[in-house]
């Protein structure tokens, strides 16, 4: 077939009835009616039904009988209207079908590890969903997983999301500049992925955590408006929705201020969400950091629901309730939320045994005080410790009505009290279904503190040390003055998720040095750390600022994906491992030797180096500790294994390895669907576990 | 439960269906075959307090056919070796009519010889392994110790056959075994392997020759079949078996079940300490051998797999000349119940390893290879999937006995 003559499977319409067309694509599903055989043929434009009738050539019918799911085939046929009553509304081409006159199998497919088809061949029939397929199996066969129309749609929409942003940026005169991937450590503060240099033995590049330094240097260069779809790398602890590499839409502009960026980013974000059919309410409100913390306990406030904090510290100035008294003595805070009308869902038992004893301690809180409003009175296990005046004060302050539940956190630390109550607020809202669906609440969080206090009485940058302060007349030696500084940084937050953040940068060498002094860095130390960068600011740097948006997270939100892995073509799994390529993997001793990595650690054992103690190594890699009394027995066994190896290698053979007498068929058997085990549904799966927390198996912390 | 034979006794063994072909048959099980809610700990702290959520496929089938499941006997840790096993005692003391045990190296055949009973390890892939809590996935088979060959055939008919939930079974080409109809005369030629017999002492040889004489009298021709690669069976089994064990034992991590060490500082420590505590020294030695192949010398494991392929091929061509291969099932001098090291265990099972490596079915007949009053068991091995023939042969042999 000539490629120009090909019609897309999804591009066949009622108007085409009577036309002869040529299709190429994959067999999505087949239905054999004896005399008639139907298949769904799929390409990335869509799905069309092809019918092989008895009247066709014998050869073609024979070939058609042999078709299986995911065969790649070519069809010539005539478009015909379907008989009334046989239309299939689950596919866009459901009113027509193609009567095949010729069929070529381009390539057959092996049996599938999971079903790919997402469209029923008969209107109303149920099809399997990938939700039941183990994610690692999907990742191992990612190229098959990406054949599924829903996954293709995700990647196509992701492309459209980025494209819509590019258009806005380019309309405003931004140009795309690429910055290096092999570079030096940048100041984001997460762990770097490092790459050894062969040419400079023993020295390493770092993969960028962001293009931060380079984009600021581009501003110094006078390339006034820069953007990049940048891949960034951070070697952080594992989290379910975190990838070791991720994509940022990174921007920087010179001679602008916050208002320029707010307007543009709002436009970009709004257009990105339009790809998912979502209209964000505009303009995006702004909320100072202090207010976000005071009302929601988070710098990523989820504003889709109420449950705003109520400050109550002053109500208890003279309290005789010992716990509050102690906390107030230490200058602590008492804050709470009023969960309106939920006293049925939040029983005494739930409040005391689940929230106070388990959930709140899980958030790092020391405890929780709860009260329920019943018959115009507060009811709680401790309400008797409060005077009538205090009780009245609580009722008025929280606006209590019958059926309300108060959840109150008291802690000597304001930061901890707000953090714990913030997590509690989100937890309660989720549990009680108080978060409305299809509601979008974007917000700019502004006026961050420039510095956070450290435990040793100094300060550390809240963002990074190049963020501009709101005033420059500060004393770098005066910690309380420093802690009163606000930064010119801003985060864009949507429904409690941070989509991105940025700041106006410091463009003045003296101000920059004051910041370093505040951070406890001498000019020499600063030069050593950021020398090349600081030097650039001695040559007339322009005022500038920028922002970066996390594309993976934006795309996942726009497309309501369950995980960011669903909007990335080839992601790593939750353990930062790629089941498809098996990366990361061991490298050969020779490779390490060539990079001169073998002797870096001095006395320490290095990868590839001959171990001092085989037993210790085996114990570590197989995570089996050895009891003192069994060490010699195990040593004998390992010696024997070495001898066995020596003995076996003498016997030559070129026979194929046989790992089992029955070759493993690691495939779903025909007619079976992956399904969740009943133990998952009813919780029995946890019944044998030595330790459980909520719906999860509990293990020790990953790091101490 | 304080019983010397049973780890767990089922207080209500009456099955829901009581008129199946296995009606009234009292069967005990190794505690590594899952029965829902029973304390199935496979003799290891790695499964301390573990109670399966559902029945193994073979257990479901036994129940459906009316068998009475009596309880769980004791077993060697995770099925490596038979030290502290009691399945054979349940049979010899007539507490059970039959026992379901897992055969990885020859346990069912060895224990049946000890009990003076019938043992049968079916072809690999003919009985579902779903619900078998195992250690060496490519070798272990759910096997039986029985008081008669007819019983053995009935149990096999009940438990064998396709299970769509067990991916290690044959996908295509697994025979429907159905009822064993007692066909006679299928076995005419029996082979013996001189390289195998060379390892026996005089008394064992004598006993085995007596057994062969008995078969010759019943019209079976005995043929010597040289098998120069025979010594490889042991090293291949040990290399592949230990590597698989090391890999399979990764699941024993104290997270979903099993003993968790107290007070560990972090994730790695939790695994190290829990796994230090949960495994006994014998099975741990085996796991370390496997760890050596898995992490330090994977090439040798792969090479062992090649040699396994070679052994299977050579065995197949051997079965072109003979219908079955005969040997004793155990040595007189190596006591598997006392085996305390990995090499002791392998020495004790030397004679039964070939069927495990090649996935072949094997029957162990009692009362034929007698060294004094010690029954060494007559092991009859057939080609892969010749289970029906072997069971028919076993039945035929007893019938002629009664006729004599």
Neighbours of A107 (CB within 10 A): 9
C-alpha pair distances (Å), A607 with each of A257, A587, A590, A598, B288: 50, 9, 11, 7, 20
Checking if the pLDDT of A609 tops 50, the result is no
Parallel/antiparallel/unpaired status of strands A37-43 and A46-52: antiparallel
User: What confidence score (pLDDT) does residue A693 get?
Assistant: 85
CA–CA dist A51, B230 (Å, integer): 58
Residue B230: the pLDDT is 95
- Interface contact A622-B288, CB threshold 8 A: yes
Nearest to A649 among B49, B168, B303 (CB): B303
Quick one: average pLDDT of B129-153?
95
What confidence tens digit (pLDDT) does each residue in B302-345 have? 999 999 999 999 999 999 999 999 999 999 988 999 999 999 99
In this structure, the number of other CB atoms found within 10 A of the CB of residue B147 comes to: 21
Which domains, and CATH codes, for chain A? Answer: 3-107 (2.40.50.140), 129-294+440-448+487-500+548-579 (3.30.930.10), 305-435 (3.30.1360.30), 450-486+508-541 (no CATH), 589-673 (no CATH)
CB contact under 8 Å between A699 and B270, yes or no, is yes
Separation of alpha carbons A516 and A521, rounded Å:
5
A625, A648, A689 member nearest B255 (Cβ): A689
Q: Which residues pair with A451 in a beta bridge?
A: A461
What percentage of residues in chain A have a pLDDT greater than 70? 95
Contacts of B305 in chain A (CB under 8 A): 657-659
Interface contacts (A, B; CB < 8 Å):
198
Task: Tell me what pLDDT residue A506 has.
Answer: 96
* The pLDDT of residue A601: 54
In three-state secondary structure terms, A357 is: helix
Residue A32, classed as helix, strand or coil, is strand
Top CATH class of B6-229+317-403 equals alpha beta
Say which range, A130-134, A275-279, A607-611, B66-70, has the weakest mean pLDDT. A607-611
Give per-residue pLDDT as tens, A460-495: 998 889 999 999 999 999 999 999 999 999 999 999
Cβ burial of A314 (10 Å; 0-12, 13-18, 19+) is exposed
Given a cut of 90, is residue B13 above it in pLDDT? no
CB B139 within 8 A of CB B243: no
Residues from chain B contacting residue A689 (CB–CB below 8 Å): 255-257
| pLDDT tier for residue B403 given thresholds of 50, 70 and 90 | very low
- pLDDT at A559 exceeding the cut of 80: yes
Q: Where are the domains of chain B?
A: 6-229+317-403, 232-306
A630 touches chain B (CB under 8 A): yes
Closest CA to B246 of B145, B340, B137: B137
Helix (H, G, I), strand (E, B) or coil at A151: helix
Q: Examine the pLDDT at B51 and tell me if it is beyond 80.
A: yes
CA dist B190 and B223 (Å) reads 6
- Tell me which chain A residues have a C-beta less than 8 angstroms from the C-beta of B257: 688-690
What pLDDT sits at residue A62?
A: 93
For A675, counting Cβ atoms within 10 Å of its Cβ (0-12 exposed, 13-18 middle, 19+ buried), the class is: exposed
- Helix, strand, or coil (residue A678): helix
Average pLDDT of chain A, as a whole number: 91
Residue of A nearest to B46 (CA): A690
Q: Angle at the Cα of B391 (from B388 to B395), degrees rounded to 5? A: 135
- A18 forms beta bridges with none
Test mutation, B134, B284, B356, chain A, max A CBs within 10 A: B284
Peptide bond into A75 cis (omega under 30): no
> Rounded CA gap, B244 and B237, in Å?
10
Tell me, letter by letter, the H, E, C secondary structure of B236-295.
HHHHHHHHHHHHHHHHCCCCCCCCCCCCCCCHHHHHHHHHHHHCCHHHHHHHHHHHHHHH
Residue B1 confidence (pLDDT): 42
Q: Smallest CA–CA separation between B287 and chain A, in Å?
A: 9
Amino acid A600: pLDDT:
63
* Rounded Cα distance, A471 and A485, in Å: 7
- Burial (CB count within 10 angstroms: exposed 0-12, middle 13-18, buried 19+), residue B315: buried
SS3 A232: strand
pLDDT digit string (tens) for B359-388?
A: 999 999 999 999 999 999 999 999 999 999
Q: How many Cβ atoms sit within 10 Å of the Cβ of residue B7?
A: 21
The predicted pLDDT at position B395 comes to 93
The confidence score (pLDDT) of residue A597 equals 83
Q: Cα(B228)–Cα(B223) distance, rounded to whole angstroms?
A: 16
Say yes or no: A237 contacts chain B, CB-CB below 8 A: no
> Which residue of A651, A672, A673, A697 is the best one to mutate when testing the B interface, meaning the one whose CB has the most B CBs within 10 A?
A651
Q: Pick the residue with more confidence: A678 or A548? A: A548
Chain B, 104 to 143: residues with Cβ < 8 Å from chain A are: 124-125, 137-138
Q: Give the chain A residue nearest B139 (alpha carbons).
A: A660
Given a cut of 70, whether residue A669 has pLDDT beyond it is no
CA-CA distance, B225 to A267, in Å (whole number)? 84
Does A588 contact chain B (CB < 8 Å)? Answer: no
Which residues from chain B sit within 8 angstroms of residue A629, using beta carbons?
A: 281
How many CB atoms neighbour CB B19 within 10 A?
A: 9
Contact A687/B125, CB-based, under 8 Å? no
The 10s digit of each residue's pLDDT in A59-94 is 999 999 999 999 999 999 999 999 998 899 889 999
pLDDT at A278 exceeding the cut of 50: yes
């Amino acid at each position: 077939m000539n490629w120009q003559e090909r019609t897309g499977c999804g591009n066949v319409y009622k108007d085409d009835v009577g036309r002869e067309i040529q299709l190429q694509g994959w067999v999505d599903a087949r239905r054999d009616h004896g005399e008639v055989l139907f298949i769904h043929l799929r390409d990335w434009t869509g799905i069309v039904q092809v019918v092989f009738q008895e009247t066709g050539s014998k050869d073609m019918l024979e070939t058609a009988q042999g078709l299986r799911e995911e065969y790649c085939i070519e069809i010539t046929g005539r478009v015909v209207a379907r008989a009334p009553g046989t239309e299939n509304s689950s596919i866009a081409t459901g009113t027509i079908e193609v009567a095949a006159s010729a069929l070529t199998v381009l390539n057959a497919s092996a049996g599938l590890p999971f079903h790919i088809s997402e469209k029923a061949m008969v209107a109303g029939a149920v099809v399997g969903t990938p939700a039941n397929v183990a994610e690692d199996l999907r990742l191992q066969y990612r190229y098959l997983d990406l054949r599924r129309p829903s996954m293709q749609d995700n990647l196509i929409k992701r492309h459209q999301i980025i494209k819509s942003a590019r258009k806005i940026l380019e309309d405003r005169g931004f140009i795309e500049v690429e910055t290096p991937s092999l570079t030096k450590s940048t100041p984001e503060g997460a762990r770097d992925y490092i790459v050894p240099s062969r040419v400079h033995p023993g020295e390493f590049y770092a993969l960028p955590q962001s293009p931060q330094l380079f984009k600021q240097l581009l501003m110094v260069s006078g390339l006034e408006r820069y953007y990049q779809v940048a891949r960034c790398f951070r070697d952080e602890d594992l989290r379910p929705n975190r990838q070791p590499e991720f994509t940022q839409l990174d921007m920087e502009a010179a001679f602008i201020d916050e208002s320029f960026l707010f307007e543009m980013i709002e436009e970009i974000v709004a257009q990105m969400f339009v790809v998912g059919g979502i209209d964000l309410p505009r303009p995006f409100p702004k909320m100072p950091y202090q207010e976000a913390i005071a009302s929601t306990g988070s710098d990523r406030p989820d504003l889709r629901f109420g449950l705003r904090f109520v400050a109550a510290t002053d109500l208890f100035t003279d309290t005789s309730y010992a716990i509050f008294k102690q906390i107030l003595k230490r200058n602590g805070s008492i804050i709470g939320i009023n969960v309106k009308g939920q006293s049925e869902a939040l029983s005494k038992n739930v409040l005391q045994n689940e929230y106070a004893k388990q959930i709140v301690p899980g958030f790092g809180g020391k405890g929780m005080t709860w009260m329920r409003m019943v018959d115009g009175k507060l009811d709680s296990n401790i309400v008797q410790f409060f005077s009538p005046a205090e009780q009245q004060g609580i009722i008025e302050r929280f606006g209590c009505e019958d059926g309300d539940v108060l959840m109150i956190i008291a802690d000597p630390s304001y930061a901890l009290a707000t953090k714990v109550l913030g997590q509690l607020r989100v937890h309660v809202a989720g549990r009680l279904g108080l978060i409305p669906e299809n509601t979008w609440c974007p917000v700019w969080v502004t006026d961050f503190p420039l510095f956070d206090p450290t435990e040793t009485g100094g300060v550390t940058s809240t963002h990074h040390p190049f963020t501009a302060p709101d005033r420059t007349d500060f004393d770098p030696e005066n910690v309380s003055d420093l802690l009163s500084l606000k930064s010119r940084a801003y985060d864009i937050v949507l429904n409690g998720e941070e989509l991105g953040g940025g700041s106006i940068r410091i463009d003045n060498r003296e101000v920059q040095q004051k910041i370093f002094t505040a951070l406890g860095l001498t000019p020499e130390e600063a030069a050593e750390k950021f020398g090349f960068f600081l030097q650039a600011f001695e040559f007339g740097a322009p005022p500038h600022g920028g922002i970066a948006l996390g594309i993976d997270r934006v795309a996942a939100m726009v497309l309501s994906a369950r995980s960011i892995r669903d909007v990335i073509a080839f992601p790593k799994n939750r353990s930062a491992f790629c089941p498809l390529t098996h990366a990361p993997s061991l490298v050969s001793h020779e490779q390490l030797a060539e990079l001169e990595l073998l002797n870096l650690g001095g006395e320490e054992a290095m990868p590839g180096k001959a171990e001092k103690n085989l037993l210790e190594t085996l114990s570590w890699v197989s995570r089996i500790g050895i009891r003192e009394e069994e060490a010699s027995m195990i040593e004998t066994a390992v010696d024997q294994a070495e001898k066995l190896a020596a003995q076996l290698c003498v016997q030559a053979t070129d026979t194929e390895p046989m790992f089992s007498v029955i070759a493993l068929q690691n495939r779903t058997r025909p007619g079976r669907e992956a399904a969740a085990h009943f133990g998952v549904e009813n919780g029995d799966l946890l019944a044998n576990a030595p330790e459980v927390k909520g719906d999860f198996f509990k293990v020790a912390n990953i790091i101490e | 439960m304080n019983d010397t034979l049973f780890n767990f006794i089922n207080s209500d063994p009456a099955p829901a269906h009581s008129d199946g072909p296995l009606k009234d048959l009292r069967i005990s099980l190794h505690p590594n075959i899952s029965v829902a809610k029973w304390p199935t700990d496979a003799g290891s702290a790695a499964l301390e307090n573990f109670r399966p959520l559902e029945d193994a496929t073979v257990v479901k089938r036994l129940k459906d056919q009316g068998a009475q499941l009596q309880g769980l006997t004791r077993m060697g840790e995770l099925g490596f070796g038979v030290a502290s096993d009691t399945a054979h005692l349940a049979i010899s003391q007539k507490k059970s009519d039959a026992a379901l045990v897992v055969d990885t190296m020859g346990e069912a055949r060895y224990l049946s010889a000890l009990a003076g009973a019938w043992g049968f390890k079916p072809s690999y892939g003919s009985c579902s392994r779903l619900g078998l809590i195992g250690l060496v996935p490519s070798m272990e088979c759910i096997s039986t110790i029985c008081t008669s060959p007819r019983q053995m055939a009935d149990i096999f008919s009940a438990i064998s056959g396709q299970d769509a939930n067990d991916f290690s079974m044959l996908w295509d080409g697994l025979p429907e075994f159905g009822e064993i109809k007692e066909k006679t005369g299928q076995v005419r030629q029996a082979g013996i392997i001189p390289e195998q017999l060379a390892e026996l002492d005089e008394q064992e040889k004598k006993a085995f020759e007596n057994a062969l004489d008995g078969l010759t009298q019943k019209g079976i021709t005995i043929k010597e079949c040289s098998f120069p690669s025979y010594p490889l069976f042991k090293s291949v089994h040990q290399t592949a078996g230990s590597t698989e064990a090391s890999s399979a034992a990764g699941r024993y991590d104290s997270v979903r079940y099993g003993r968790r060490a107290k007070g560990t500082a972090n994730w790695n420590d939790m695994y190290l300490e829990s796994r230090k505590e949960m495994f006994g020294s014998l099975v741990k030695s085996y796991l370390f051998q496997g760890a050596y192949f898995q992490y330090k010398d994977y090439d040798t494991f792969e090479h062992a797999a090649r040699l396994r392929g070679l052994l299977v091929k050579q065995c197949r061509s051997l079965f072109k000349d003979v219908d079955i291969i005969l040997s004793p099932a155990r040595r007189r001098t190596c006591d598997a119940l006392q085996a305390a090291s990995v090499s002791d265990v392998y020495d004790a099972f030397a004679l039964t390893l070939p069927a495990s490596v090649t996935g072949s079915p094997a029957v162990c007949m009692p009362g034929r290879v007698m060294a004094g009053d010690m029954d060494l068991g007559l092991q009859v091995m057939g080609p892969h999937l010749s289970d029906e023939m072997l069971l028919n042969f076993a039945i035929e042999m007893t019938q002629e006995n009664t006729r004599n």
